């Protein structure tokens, strides 16, 4: 399988086969999924290749971020229980390092995604659907967080899908910096600053909702 992972042409071809097989069920998940349908997917091969490559990057970036979030929750759980259960700093250091690697991979993946998105024209039909989408009814129907949903709406009502990728990239970068702050304390067997732990937990939650709301909207307009 390594020859496929290291060959971008084969990787794109395999992903195309996956799209054909699982069809409409492949864009309904948790973090930005389906958003690349807002880019040009006409009969020109370069456009098709760009969209396939972009969706691969969305899925990979989402996977790395969700890994990060899961590891951070385990880290925070260990810190929460420190008064009744001694912290295993060796295990904690490994978790922090692993979460740092995961968020770095998420950031690098979305950096590549943004470069492709900036060079790929939008699908004007999808942009029109985003312009006309009834965001307020959607917000009420699903009882979504109005602050996070408002950020999503401000990007999508203008058709700025690439802006949502940049927003996620900025969050990934901030999460990475917070993990680095925490890592420096954990490496010295010290409790990290509470403000960093609080902000890390909150920022992961915000990005989780942000990516999820985008996926839900693109699922809704299909």
Q: What is the pLDDT of residues 174-206, one digit of tens each?
A: 999 999 999 999 999 889 999 999 999 999 999
- pLDDT value at residue 220: 96
Q: Is the confidence at residue 18, as pLDDT, over 50? A: no
Residue 118 neighbours by CB under 8 Å, 6+ apart: 162
Residue 122 in 3-state DSSP? Answer: strand
Q: Are 135 and 153 in contact (CB under 8 A)?
A: yes
Residue 82: pLDDT band by 50, 70, 90 thresholds?
confident
- pLDDT value at residue 221: 93
- pLDDT value at residue 29: 74
- What would the DSSP string read from start to end of 96-131? HHHHHHHHHHHHHHHHHHHHHHHTS-B-HHHHHHHH
Q: Is the confidence at residue 69, as pLDDT, over 90? A: yes
- For the chain, the domains span 2-26+44-220
Give 118's DSSP letter: H
């Amino acid at each position: 399988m390594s020859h496929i992972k290291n060959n971008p042409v084969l990787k794109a071809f395999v992903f195309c086969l996956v799209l054909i097989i699982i069809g409409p069920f492949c864009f309904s998940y948790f973090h930005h999924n389906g958003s690349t349908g807002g880019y040009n997917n006409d009969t020109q091969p370069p456009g098709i290749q760009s969209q396939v490559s972009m969706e691969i990057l969305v899925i990979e970036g989402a996977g790395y971020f969700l890994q990060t979030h899961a590891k951070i929750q385990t880290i925070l759980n260990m810190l929460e229980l420190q008064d009744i259960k001694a912290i295993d700093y060796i295990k904690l250091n490994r978790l922090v390092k692993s979460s740092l690697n995961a968020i770095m991979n998420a950031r690098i993946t979305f950096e590549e995604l943004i470069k492709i998105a900036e060079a790929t024209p939008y699908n004007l039909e999808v942009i029109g659907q985003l312009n006309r989408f009834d965001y307020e009814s959607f917000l009420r129907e699903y009882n979504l967080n109005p602050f996070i949903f408002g950020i999503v709406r401000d990007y999508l009502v203008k058709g700025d899908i690439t802006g949502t990728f940049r927003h996620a990239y900025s969050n990934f970068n901030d999460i990475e910096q917070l993990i680095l702050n925490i890592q420096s304390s954990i490496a010295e067997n010290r409790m990290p600053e509470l403000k960093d732990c609080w902000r890390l937990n909150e920022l992961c939650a915000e990005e989780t909702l942000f990516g999820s709301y985008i996926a839900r909207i693109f699922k809704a307009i299909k």
